[in-house]
Structure 1
Amino acid sequence: MNLRALACVLPLAALSAGGAHARTERLALVVANHQGGGDLPELRYAGRDGQRLADVLVDLGGFERADILSVIDGEGGDVMGALDEVERRVARAKQGGDEVIFLFYYSGHAQNGVLRLGQTQLDMQTIKRRLEQSSADVRIAFVDSCGAGAMTREKGGTLAPPFVVAVDEGLSARGQVIITSSSASEVSQESDDIQGSFFTHYLATGLRGDADRNQDGKVTLDEAYAYSYGRTVAATSVTRSGAQHPTYSYDLRGAGDVTLSEPGGADVLIDFPAESQGRYFVVDLDRQLFVAEVDKDAGNASRIALPKGQYAIKKRMDSHMLMTRLSAREKGVFTLDEGAMERVSFADDYAKGTPILSDRIADQVGFALSMGLGAQLVLDPGDDGDLFPGLAYVVIEARGRNLVGERIMTSADVGFGGTRVERDVPGGTLPADVVHVQGGVNVLWTTRLFDDAVLLGGGGRLAAMYWQHTFQDATALPAGVEPRQWYFDFAPGLVGMAGWSFANWGHAEITARSSVMVYTYDTVRPVFPVEALASVWFDF
């Protein structure tokens, strides 16, 4: 029996069996929860950590976005239900002859060997047993929480740097690996500086290429673990809570390579040449997100992989920053030229990269502008529809996010529309042109789902509505009928919306509004405008 080092990797390259190469299905479940119940403090970055790892899996790990399930701020039952769904997908893939890799990730509170999911709890050993019972060929778990080492302690969990696993030659990889962010007795820590947990931050950065020790364009599991272990221990050794030591537990056999990420094949590669040294931060300027950190010594080149976009690279000096912009809209390799970096004061840092993200994109203050089309119908039990006819209109809306509170959006809108109706007049009907103008202010409570791809919101609205009727042939009007008539009123109401993010810079929304106003011209009665809108938003 020959022994070899196991290279476990996330796109989880081909697993071979009997000389035939089966298709490999990749599934992931990302669980994040900011609340731990009781007197545990609210976490700020659990959702963002989950989003960062999911992004890396999609960008570089061969995962499809649709195959990454997520449970954000859910309960224990939600997690178990998601595990059931994963297993159903595993079974379907296995029936089709595919081999399956399943990755489980958790970021949140844990205490005394249980995951704390809001007001519910889920025993770590329950999760471990579900992984062991899964039909997936390879199961990999990353658990980023306090005391997460309780999950690896039971069967030989090891607190140590890089590991080597002996496997039998000629067999494809099968089994599971569990990696945790800390030992059973240690605290896992978040950092405002890196806007996330130390462990997940270094894991994601390593998978983007900084952990690729042999520069073969692939990051294996042992490379990722060694990198995140070393960086996590070093970064936390100077914190108030003390050093945090990632641990692992493995039960893996076979000779198949499982690759976690393949940064060498990414659209955008950023090279840090051998002569560069220091700590570099990379910020996605399109989203103002802190995406990677490279801490290197002179003498060895380093490379990280990113999707296409607009980036800033900055290096912190004692009294200032060195910064440069990188436009990477096209596929290519970009080399950092530190001599060309701009000297910038800390106050003039144009890429803060520190929006405080939780499970939503948006605990930061932000703004958005939209244009859309709407349709309005006024429910008026005292009229046959000619006073307030149904019509289409164009709407422009400006919105502020978190200006008055977390998850609260405030906006102002204006709409213009018109139609033509046959107005009832004494002796018959006459055609009239109808112009409708409205403006409103809205206050919405919002939440985001599915890795921030879906935005839901609801709240209140106060609108000012104006209608004007102009008869086309004033000479045909009976005596006493004005050729131009108008009506104005305020209309309080409700609004609900759902949005879908289709790009870093924007999203689409559908909105429903309902309101009430009191008609008082010749009689007093309530009327009820209802509206539906579709709009495209540009996010800033």
Structure 2
Amino acid sequence: MSLGRLAALAAAACGLTAAWAAPAEARIERFAVLIGNNAGEKGEVELRYAEDDAAKMVDVLKDLGGFPPANLVLLRSERADTVRRTLIAMNDRVRAAMSTPDTDILYLVYYSGHADANALHLGPTPLSLTEFEQLVRGSAASARLLIVDSCRSGALTRVKGGTSAPPFVIKLDQRLAGQGMVTLTSSSGNEDAQESDELKGSFFTHALVSGLLGTADADRDGAVSLEEAYRHAYESTLRATSRTWAGAQHPTFRYDFRGQGKLILTELPVHASLRSVLRFPRGRSYLVMRDSSEGSVAAEVGTNDAARTISLRPGRYFVRGRGPDFLLEGAIEAEAGQAVDVGDERLSRVMFARLVRKGGGVREVAHGPVAGYQLRTPLVAGDSPCHGGFLGYGIELQHIGIASRLSACRSGFQNEHLTARNDELGLDVRLSHAWDLPVITLGVGVDLGLAVMRQQFETRGDAPDRHGLAGAFGAGAGVTVDLARGLYLHLEGGAQTYVLKQRRAGSEAAEMAPSLAARLRAGVGVSL
């Protein structure tokens, strides 16, 4: 986002407040209509979180924005005629409030759901964008803020909307009635607005709510202005969606303003006695969920956020911090009027492989290389143990692990007539299941492999080299201990059955026969 655009938004925010041209002692009343609808027109994929996003906005405006509950209207799954009547009724209330001397009005309208180039899709009933904009623009409020989190089509992250359409921009007439209006949209004209299962909401509204809770307070003055909220929502949305299949999403703004000043959306210290404050260290990002790890996401503190403090309702929260190769997880009790420092010592470290086995969508797969020492007991009487090494790569899914290993070892024997050296090059694939304990991980598995064998002799006579091929199968158990930075120690033992050609004593002919051996592997791996 260019500095010019940010400067323009700052000027817009300034203009909204000063345009009221009221004395310093003027009373400010706040009104808001928040609309969420998961359903769209026929053929459009149903959204999961649009209505929840609207409810989150209600909570933060009521708790920190100074919006009285009586002035907040939440519409969930309502049709176009209900939305139209509600906006008209709210305009009447705003007009009546404006008739009171020395009163300024902030009027906020929020929408999350489906839309196309012409209309909001409130289930099967459309509401034209022109009419929607005019209902907000025609309000007598001193300052009007319209927030639209909407777009179209659907894919891996459930982009918000239903059917493909040409790129569009929600256009709003910049020659507005009244004294000031700013419109924020969650994406630019040729992009989709995306939802996230991990966040249990849209990227844009999640970033906006987190910012209003405190992470957007860039100047640390205890208040979040419109400019700060938009800057935070823009940067956080762009950063998060740049990693999704649908691609980066760029929030936009449109404005019409006069004057100077700053529009404050939420104030933190004013409500400190009724709220709990969580403070987070720098260097990693944190998600805060209500009640448990399965609860709704209350807020997020990004790795690059300058403000590391959020204001929450008292209660129990589950905090998840993300490191380079691990998560930090734990429950936090947030009490009214208290500030809690959420340091690493309050949370438990969980490595990525454990996260995969834990499930819940935090991480779907972990993988990485492993290498180490291998020992196999003799396959035939008189041979020595086979010492060597192995190199492999493993993939961990929620319920099963898959690993391939390339190994090499050498054994031999010696008598009065000759010295023999046996070399083995093997490849095996292992399927396993693991159980995570507090310190270690235990696993059991079965494997299937193939080995190429070469036997060389040193003797005074003529003893040509021998080559052979052996199949192998077996089962065993292993233990893993997590180290730092994704590293882990792995110890694995098991019984192996080799099927190979063997010469019996007194016979020149070689016959296929099984041979039982034990195998031990010890190595170091890294989880990516």
Is the TM value for this pair above 0.5? yes
- Residues 1:54 and 2:63 are matched in the alignment: no
Distance 1:329-1:340 versus aligned 2 partners, 3 A rule: closer
Q: What TM-score, normalized to structure 2?
A: 0.58
Cα deviations across residues 466-492 of structure 1 (Å, max 9, x unaligned)? xxxxxxxxxxxxxxxxxxxxxxxxxxx
- Kept in 1: contact 2:214–2:307 (CA 8 A): no
Structure 2 residue corresponding to 1:188, chosen from 190, 193, 199: 193
Return the alpha-carbon distance in structure 2 between the equivalents of residues 293 and 322 of structure 1: 14
Aligned twin of 2:318: 312
Aligned twin of 2:340: 334
- Residues 1:122 and 2:127 are matched in the alignment: yes
Output the amino acid matched with 1:341.
Answer: L
- Residues 1:211 and 2:220 are matched in the alignment: no
Distance 1:24-1:143 versus aligned 2 partners, 3 A rule: same
- Kept in 2: contact 1:124–1:150 (CA 8 A): no
Cα offset for 1:13? 8.2
Return the alpha-carbon distance in structure 2 between the equivalents of residues 234 and 142 of structure 1: 20
User: How do residues 368-447 of structure 1 correspond to structure 2 at under 5 angstroms?
Assistant: none
SS in 2 for 1:219: strand
- Residues 1:220 and 2:220 are matched in the alignment: no
- Kept in 1: contact 2:35–2:111 (CA 8 A): yes
Cα deviations across residues 419-459 of structure 1 (Å, max 9, x unaligned)? xxxxxxxxxxxxxxxxxxxxxxxxxxxxxxxxxxxxxxxxx
Cα offset for 1:18? 4.8
User: How do residues 480-491 of structure 1 correspond to structure 2 at under 5 angstroms?
Assistant: none
Cα offset for 1:270? 1.4
SS in 1 for 2:187: coil
In the alignment, structure 2 segments of 5+ residues that lack a partner are 1-7, 153-159, 161-166, 363-528
Distance 1:236-1:156 versus aligned 2 partners, 3 A rule: farther
Cα offset for 1:107? 0.3
- Residues 1:40 and 2:44 are matched in the alignment: yes
- Kept in 2: contact 1:34–1:47 (CA 8 A): yes
- Kept in 1: contact 2:276–2:334 (CA 8 A): yes
Return the alpha-carbon distance in structure 2 between the equivalents of residues 44 and 4 of structure 1: 31
Larger RCO (alpha carbons 8 Å, 6+ apart):
1
Cα offset for 1:352? 9.3
Distance 1:125-1:150 versus aligned 2 partners, 3 A rule: farther
Aligned twin of 2:88: 84
Output the amino acid matched with 1:122.
Answer: L
Structure 2 residue corresponding to 1:251, chosen from 248, 256, 261: 256
Cα offset for 1:229? 0.8
Aligned twin of 1:294: 301
- Kept in 2: contact 1:125–1:151 (CA 8 A): no
Output the amino acid matched with 1:329.
Answer: E
Cα offset for 1:193? 1.2
- Kept in 1: contact 2:144–2:181 (CA 8 A): yes
SS in 1 for 2:246: coil
Output the amino acid matched with 1:42.
Answer: E
Figure out how many residues of one structure are paired with residues of the other and give that number: 332
Distance 1:58-1:82 versus aligned 2 partners, 3 A rule: same
Distance 1:297-1:102 versus aligned 2 partners, 3 A rule: closer
- Kept in 2: contact 1:177–1:251 (CA 8 A): yes
Return the alpha-carbon distance in structure 1 between the equivalents of residues 268 and 285 of structure 2: 20
Cα offset for 1:70? 1.9
- Kept in 1: contact 2:149–2:185 (CA 8 A): yes
Cα offset for 1:20? 4.6
- Residues 1:324 and 2:330 are matched in the alignment: yes
Return the alpha-carbon distance in structure 1 between the equivalents of residues 98 and 24 of structure 2: 15
Aligned twin of 2:283: 277
Aligned twin of 2:97: 93
- Residues 1:238 and 2:238 are matched in the alignment: no
- Residues 1:72 and 2:79 are matched in the alignment: no
Aligned twin of 1:346: 355
Aligned twin of 1:102: 107
- Kept in 2: contact 1:153–1:184 (CA 8 A): no
Output the amino acid matched with 1:288.
Answer: G
In the alignment, structure 1 segments of 5+ residues that lack a partner are 158-172, 354-540
Cα deviations across residues 322-377 of structure 1 (Å, max 9, x unaligned)? 12322222312221212342224537979999xxxxxxxxxxxxxxxxxxxxxxxx
Identity %: 36
Higher Rg = 2
Aligned twin of 2:462: none
Return the alpha-carbon distance in structure 1 between the equivalents of residues 147 and 290 of structure 2: 25
- Kept in 2: contact 1:216–1:264 (CA 8 A): no
Return the alpha-carbon distance in structure 1 between the equivalents of residues 62 and 9 of structure 2: 29
SS in 2 for 1:141: strand
Aligned twin of 1:415: none
SS in 2 for 1:235: helix
SS in 2 for 1:174: coil
Output the amino acid matched with 2:265.
Answer: L
Structure 2 residue corresponding to 1:135, chosen from 131, 136, 140: 140
Q: What TM-score, normalized to structure 1?
A: 0.56
Distance 1:130-1:19 versus aligned 2 partners, 3 A rule: same
Return the alpha-carbon distance in structure 2 between the equivalents of residues 350 and 216 of structure 1: 40
- Kept in 2: contact 1:99–1:136 (CA 8 A): yes
Return the alpha-carbon distance in structure 1 between the equivalents of residues 125 and 9 of structure 2: 43
SS in 2 for 1:25: strand
Return the alpha-carbon distance in structure 2 between the equivalents of residues 44 and 77 of structure 1: 23
Distance 1:349-1:308 versus aligned 2 partners, 3 A rule: farther
Aligned twin of 2:436: none
- Kept in 2: contact 1:73–1:117 (CA 8 A): yes
Return the alpha-carbon distance in structure 1 between the equivalents of residues 52 and 138 of structure 2: 29
Aligned twin of 1:375: none
Cα offset for 1:192? 0.6
Return the alpha-carbon distance in structure 2 between the equivalents of residues 352 and 295 of structure 1: 20
Output the amino acid matched with 2:134.
Answer: R
